[in-house]
Chain A
Amino acid sequence: MSLINKAIAGSPWLVHCNCGSCNGCDIEVLACLTPVYDVERFGVVNIGNPKHADVLVVSGSVNPRNERMLKNIYEQMADPKLVVAVGACAATGGIFRECYNVLGGVDKVIPVDVYVPGCAARPEAIIDGVVLAVEKLKEKLSGEKGA
């Protein structure tokens, strides 16, 4: 069982979804893959396909136009899956919170496991967020086993 847990924790594949972000957080997500941060050390791969991914990384606030798109991507992912909201906009709606065309944070549409703060979120914070998400996944799995 420990090998399986290690395997699950050691291979989070990401799919990145931009819900009308200013591109600031998106650049920081991509920065994680560069030689400076190299998240592949932890087995993280930016896979670009919701059907293969374990972690959905969302940036930007949700509005009525992209709500359906976000739900669609989330539903295409196979269980167990996690959602990481990257940046202030994805977490709460950020400075666009009060806008008439903005629904708010990502958690208004799909369940969010980890919120990464920052505008834009720093690559270190994003890596921390993904690691925390994987820890939550392990907890979830061991909970299922106990039940």
Chain B
Amino acid sequence: MMEVVLIILGTILLAPLAGGLLTGVDRIITARMQGRQGPPLLQPFYDLIKLWRKEAQITNTLQVFYAVIYLVFAVLSLVLFVLGQNLLLIIFVLTIGSGAMVLGALSTPSPYSQIGANREILQMLAYDPILLITAVALYLVTGSFKLSEVVAYQTASGQPLLFVLPLVFLTMTYVLTIKMRKSPFDISASHHAHQEIVRGITTEYSGPYLALLEIAHWFEVVLVLGLVAIFWANSWLMALILVGAVFLLELLLDNITARLTYRWMLQSTWVVGMGLAVLNIAYLYLA
């Protein structure tokens, strides 16, 4: 029992630290890819402290409530992940968090916020089915939705899931780009294209409340990379290498692609992505 409490506390304290550092690395590597020097490594933490110190300006209290709910569920999903709980539960908790963020953005009359919220719903439509198919594929191979048993299966068989489910892994990594808010799917928060819908879903948040959303996003980034790691869970080293490779690939993709429309996002994830994942599962059955 004591151990579980320590793991939960450790996750809550260390995950934002890791998420912030990853964001710092992200910004430096992105700058280098563009031929710039880039900000200091600790820049995301400076931004966060600054936001925390700013005036608390709100449009309505409901907005703040939903921002807190988003953070709580992002933390909860990561805690469940670290404790090796049911993957389906983790996906549902993650979805509730995103749903709260959408409701928070919809609670303000700003058109930019509203468009951002609508696009976030489309993003959820794009990545949620793929995540569920991933969970189903893991179940078919390992016989359990529980992450601790998925890891135990890989340790016992000595074969990483990456080789059993390569197409599912590819599809999942592809849709996790959406969750990481990277181009070509950065359509709801609009990190780099503020001339289009200002800041999309985060437009109406400012100061400390924007900081809450930022921390929640860091938790999500850590969870996303954790989901990548479970595909090579029988070796710590290989899991780290896999996560690093996927992270660098996401940054490369972010820098070499233009943002695309939501139609393209839905078509590519549903038709190509689901097709590949189902093909992988069918192959497992037939082989």
Contact = CB atoms under 8 A, between A and B. Distances in A.
A52 B49 CA distance: 13
Contact of A79 (B35, B54, B198): B54
Interface string B24-62: 000100010011111110010111111001111100000
A4 interface: yes
Contacts of B34: 35
A143 B81 CA distance: 46
B145 to A, nearest CB: 39
B31 A52 contact: no
Contact of B50 (A7, A38, A49, A79): A7
Nearest to A51: B206
Contacts of B206: 51-52, 78
Interface in A11-46: 11, 13, 35, 38, 40-43, 46
A10 interface: yes
A48 B192 CA distance: 10
Interface residues of A, number: 24
B43 A10 contact: yes
Contacts of B31: 38, 40
A70 interface: no
A48 B198 contact: yes
Given A8-B53, A48-B195, A43 B207 contact: no
B236 to A, nearest CB: 33
A51 B203 CA distance: 7
Interface residues of B, number: 32
A93 B204 CA distance: 33
Instruction: Describe B's contact surface by its main secondary structure.
Output: loop
A35 B57 CA distance: 34
B27 A51 contact: no
B199 interface: yes
Contacts of A3: 49
B49 to A, nearest CB: 4
Contacts of B205: 51
A38 B36 contact: yes
Contacts of B35: 35
Interface in B185-243: 194-195, 198-199, 202-207, 210
A111 interface: no
Contacts of A47: 194, 199
B49 A4 contact: yes
Given A4-B53, A52-B199, 14 more contacts: A7-B48, A7-B49, A13-B47, A38-B36, A40-B27, A41-B39, A42-B39, A46-B194, A48-B198, A49-B203, A51-B204, A51-B205, A52-B210, A78-B56
16 contacts: A4-B49, A8-B53, A35-B34, A38-B38, A40-B27, A41-B36, A43-B39, A46-B194, A47-B199, A48-B195, A49-B199, A52-B199, A52-B206, A54-B54, A79-B54, A80-B54
Interface of A: 3-4, 6-8, 10-11, 13, 35, 38, 40-43, 46-49, 51-52, 54, 78-80
